[in-house]
Each structure stands twice: as C-alpha cells, then as structure tokens.
Amino acid sequence: MGLSAIFFFFYVFVVGCIGYLSSRKATEEDFMIAGRRVAGSQLAATMSAGFFDGATLGVYLAYIYQFGLSAIWLFIGFGFGFLMLQHFSGVIKAKADAMRVYSMPEYFYRLIGKRSGQMFSVVLVTAFFLFLVVNLIVSGKVLSSIFPISYAFSVAIGGVIILLYLFLAGFKAVVRTDVFQFLIMILMSVSVGLYLLRISPIPHFCLLDSNSWAWCSSMR
C-alpha cells in the first residue's frame, strides 16, 4: 500500500491545487468552455487523457485478452476518425465561436433546430453517463485494492475528487488536470515499458548443431 498510497495522495494534492489555481480570476467562459482557448498541446493532452480513461483501459484490456494484437484496430479507428474530423473541425469551431455556444447540443439546437439539439443531448448524456459509470467502477476497484476501504466508499472518493476540481474551476480545470494526467500517463508508460523490456526474454535464433536452428530466448 505504501508507494501506491503516496502516489494517490500526491495526485489528489496536485489536482486540488490545479483546481484552486484555475479558479482564480476565472470568467464564465473559462468555467464553461476554458475561455475558448484550448489548442495545440493542451488540446492533444486533454483529448488523449479523455480517451485513455478507466473505461477505455478496462474495455481495451478485455479486447487484448480476447483478440490479441488485433485489438490495435480500435485505436487505428480512433485515429482515422480524428483525421476525418479535422477536415470539419475548423468550420465547426468558427461557427460555434460566432454563435457563442457552450456545447455541441446547443450548437445543433441553434444551427439546425430544437429537435436536433434535443436528440444530440439525449445521445450525449446517455453515452457520457455510461462512460462515467465505468470510470467510477474502475476507480472504485483501484482504490479499494490500495486502501483497506469498501468498494462503495472508494467509488464515492473517486467521484468527490472529480467534483472537487469541477466545482472549483469547471472546464478550465478539466483541461489542466488532463494535461497533468497525460504527463503521468507518458511517464508511467515509458517506465513500465522499460521495466518489461529489462525483465522480458530476448527472442533470437540459436544454433543447435551445424545444420539446424531454433527460436530461443534469453534474459537481459
């Protein structure tokens, strides 16, 4: 529990600080949509952290277990979808800024009509509610395995941490915490990769005799 608990408390402390600092001199647009200034590295970080959440990791690990390397097509599909969206994103962003809307349902409500906005709202709320449920389940499983507390209490703690920085600074805090989480993801991915590379056997060909070879492995 030691190192994991230290890392958890460090994470909560940093997230709380980000929420507090982001709330200072924050305007309504900062709270609702990060001042409409999310771009470049911040956008890449928040999109990456948003897609590599507990729900994605839980589902993706199940895909890897069931389908092996073929599960990589899930992220290839994501990447292709983003490339296709890039062609339209500039136009959508310009129109959304001109109309001063805060969300995609409001965008379609204003642009197409009431029914389209309502349908988009239902789909979006349903999808994100399901994502939220899975993420809370994953956070509850992780916290209950680190600390001697019940699963239900662990889920509540995960929800409180999210609400903490949301209520403090809204979407502006979300973007900044996503950048922080993205950096943690990169650091942990590299660390785990190097560790596995160090302890994993190295595949190579072995000469059994003068006429035969075999696929062998050795430790680093």
For 38-157, where are the E strands, in sequence order? none
Judge whether residue 39 has pLDDT over 80. no
Task: Give the pLDDT of residue 173.
Answer: 77
Which has the higher per-residue pLDDT, 1 or 89? 89
166-200: per-residue pLDDT in tens?
A: 777 677 777 888 888 888 888 887 887 788 777 76
191 CB-side CA count, 13 A: 6
Residues near 61 by beta carbon (within 8 Å), at least 6 away in sequence? none
Q: Which two tokens stand for residue 115?
A: 């029914």
Residues near 142 by beta carbon (within 8 Å), at least 6 away in sequence? 54, 154
55-66: per-residue pLDDT in tens?
A: 777 777 787 788
pLDDT, mean of residues 61-90: 81
Domain locations along the chain:
2-218
- What's the CA gap between 139 and 156, in Å, rounded? 9
- What's the CA gap between 173 and 196, in Å, rounded? 34
126 CB-side CA count, 13 A: 6
Distance of CA 162 to the CA centre of its chain: 13
pTM: 0.68
Q: What are phi and psi of 58, to 5 degrees?
A: -65, -45
Q: By the 8 A CB rule, do 184 and 168 touch?
A: no
